[in-house]
A and B are shown apart, each in its own frame.
Chain A
């Protein structure tokens, strides 16, 4: 046993570490013991970053290390697992990247704390999409869990949302986007303008919807509303009757053979689309980019009924304190200061603070991604692949056109449990 312990690590370094650990535990406030204090500083400079792999780019972590000396330790898990961790193991991360719609469930648990807006340098520059629900002075659709309704907390460690702006912010926005249907124009051969096409029998056996109940049901609702069958007061918070009707419509379509498959992760949606199994489906922006990256024509089709939007942001566990807390604020401030924002914008997402991101991007990039203008030269992704040729325009146009046309936001319904049960019925039908 002892032999094994020492193989690999040299005995000397092992003893050193032991001494340091013992020192940390026993010494308390003794100063003039440089090894211990630097070890502690090092510990404070490491942040365990919980989130989905999609937002955890190595480039960002490398840049943070270079600029701030903070080590970002990614904890990449699925969206569901993020939720589970926050509820059941809030001490296993130092900062979390999660979605606004989950807040209605997190905040009452008291496991997260509000962030102090006065310590966020760029807070006043955060896009009014989050703070007021406006874009260019125009109101944005507020069905579902709209971010501005859950942005403010009553106090630092409050379990309640505030209706008026306060100093305490539930989530500091990182990325957000407006989702729509992805299509294969080469296989469809005619213009697609409405969500109702998802349920159009013309695409029987060639349509797909995502199998994440809370999001899938909203895509279904967008389609049902577009057919003129029913107008939902709030697609993001349906009554039991509305859920019943929506699921019944889906079951009818499924039994008529409308859906080729359902998908539940990013790669599945890419494969369905690129293999030609499916020509129209719920999709996410980077998945469309991935299909295009294979040289296949795929469009993130803007539709007249508008988009279903989502937004995610940073939150801190309620127990974070001391140097770690300072490091977390330092990291968040860095994140909003431009480099990361430009990185995200180049992936087709939007960043929370636009002026700093603009300063960090080339003017032609900004014109393509944010102003909906023709690309003056080839557009490259952050990893260097060409994703749009010179002269191309972004699907859906400018930031204001896309975010301004949001119809609803990802949400958690009051009748969540019932909805999940009904969704299982759809899958089993």
Chain B
């Protein structure tokens, strides 16, 4: 192994670094800069004011314990984040466990894994919308329940509710949990599990002491996927929540459509910081770099 560090590795990393610099760093800097500008009507002017941030947190402190719009919006987004994270983790972990440990044959494993990807052959929005005829007031679920006599009146909370948003999120994003967890489970040395069993561990003990700790990287990566997607989503929440549930993404999108770029940028910066803090907290628990 050579300890010489030449220029070559830097050159190799250069293209990707450039792409990130051009399409990630520069736009982010622009967003940050614009968030301090002022706007009036449809024109925006360079300035350095914190008014946009004041507007984002308008009366947030004085109104406590009543929540201001921004706090309410974040609370509702965080609510989905936690619920969806827990559900996708439970389901995703179970599916990955089944694939990695219960299915013996490599070939069957691959086939079943591919089966999991089939829903991705259609677009996200279509998979979302397909829930509507199922859950609607005159939808399949309500009709069935009424036909078997379980209910007299259609259930309204099935659609355009927190329930329908949650179910759609879980449906759409569980796979993002399955993939990384399955991947890290495949790398677990089977002899470790045998050793655990030989040492007298029960199945549950093997799971909590061996498999879960060794799948931590996969869990962390899957969590990052799910958390960041849910935090920024506004299409699912809009469509399935009947546009009546607030999301940070929707707030930003409305502001952009009225060409209020500075306040939209301020909102985006706040959202970015929130997500970064969440990811940071997650990486404190699991050192992804070390584990990879």
Residues of A near any B CB (own CB < 8 A) = 80, 83-84, 87, 104-106, 108-109, 205, 211, 213-214, 254, 259-264, 271, 275-277, 416-417, 420-421, 423-425, 427-429
Asked if A262 and B242 make an inter-chain contact with CB atoms under 8 angstroms apart, the answer reads yes
Asked if A276 and B254 make an inter-chain contact with CB atoms under 8 angstroms apart, the answer reads no
Interface centre among B73, B160, B250 (most CB of A within 10 A): B160
With A87-B42, A105-B42 already in contact, the answer to whether A428 and B246 are too (CB < 8 A) is: yes
Residues of B near any A CB (own CB < 8 A) = 39, 41-43, 55, 58, 69, 72-73, 76, 132-133, 136-138, 156, 159-160, 238, 242-246, 250-251, 254-260, 263
Asked if B72 and A429 make an inter-chain contact with CB atoms under 8 angstroms apart, the answer reads yes
With A87-B42, A428-B72 already in contact, the answer to whether A420 and B243 are too (CB < 8 A) is: no
User: Which one of A205, A275, A417 contacts B258 once the chains associate, using CB atoms below 8 Å?
Assistant: A417
Asked if B42 and A427 make an inter-chain contact with CB atoms under 8 angstroms apart, the answer reads no
Q: List 20 A-B contacts (CB under 8 A).
A: A80-B257, A87-B42, A87-B259, A105-B42, A106-B42, A108-B43, A211-B243, A260-B156, A262-B242, A275-B137, A417-B39, A420-B255, A420-B260, A421-B55, A424-B69, A424-B246, A424-B251, A427-B244, A428-B76, A428-B246
Asked if A425 and B41 make an inter-chain contact with CB atoms under 8 angstroms apart, the answer reads no
Asked if B42 and A264 make an inter-chain contact with CB atoms under 8 angstroms apart, the answer reads no
With A83-B259, A264-B238 already in contact, the answer to whether A109 and B42 are too (CB < 8 A) is: yes
Bound together, the chains give a CA A273 to CA B246 distance in angstroms of 23
Asked if A259 and B244 make an inter-chain contact with CB atoms under 8 angstroms apart, the answer reads yes
Shortest Cβ distance from residue A134 to the other chain B in the assembled complex, whole angstroms = 30
Chain A, residue nearest B67 (CB): A428
Residues of A contacting B58 with CB < 8 Å? Answer: 421
User: Which one of B138, B242, B254 contacts A424 once the chains associate, using CB atoms below 8 Å?
Assistant: B254
Asked if B42 and A420 make an inter-chain contact with CB atoms under 8 angstroms apart, the answer reads no
Residues of A contacting B73 with CB < 8 Å? Answer: 424, 428
Asked if B160 and A427 make an inter-chain contact with CB atoms under 8 angstroms apart, the answer reads no
Asked if B160 and A261 make an inter-chain contact with CB atoms under 8 angstroms apart, the answer reads yes
Asked if A425 and B238 make an inter-chain contact with CB atoms under 8 angstroms apart, the answer reads no
With A109-B42, A276-B137, A417-B39 already in contact, the answer to whether A264 and B243 are too (CB < 8 A) is: yes
Bound together, the chains give a CA A4 to CA B183 distance in angstroms of 38
Residues of A contacting B69 with CB < 8 Å? Answer: 421, 424-425, 428
User: Which one of B132, B238, B251 contacts A271 once the chains associate, using CB atoms below 8 Å?
Assistant: B132
User: Which one of A104, A261, A271, A417 contacts B244 once the chains associate, using CB atoms below 8 Å?
Assistant: A261
Chain B, residue nearest A208 (CB): B242
Bound together, the chains give a CA A393 to CA B41 distance in angstroms of 43
With A276-B138, A416-B41 already in contact, the answer to whether A262 and B243 are too (CB < 8 A) is: yes
Chain B, residue nearest A420 (CB): B258
Bound together, the chains give a CA A242 to CA B198 distance in angstroms of 75
Bound together, the chains give a CA A211 to CA B257 distance in angstroms of 12
Residues of B contacting A416 with CB < 8 Å? Answer: 41, 258
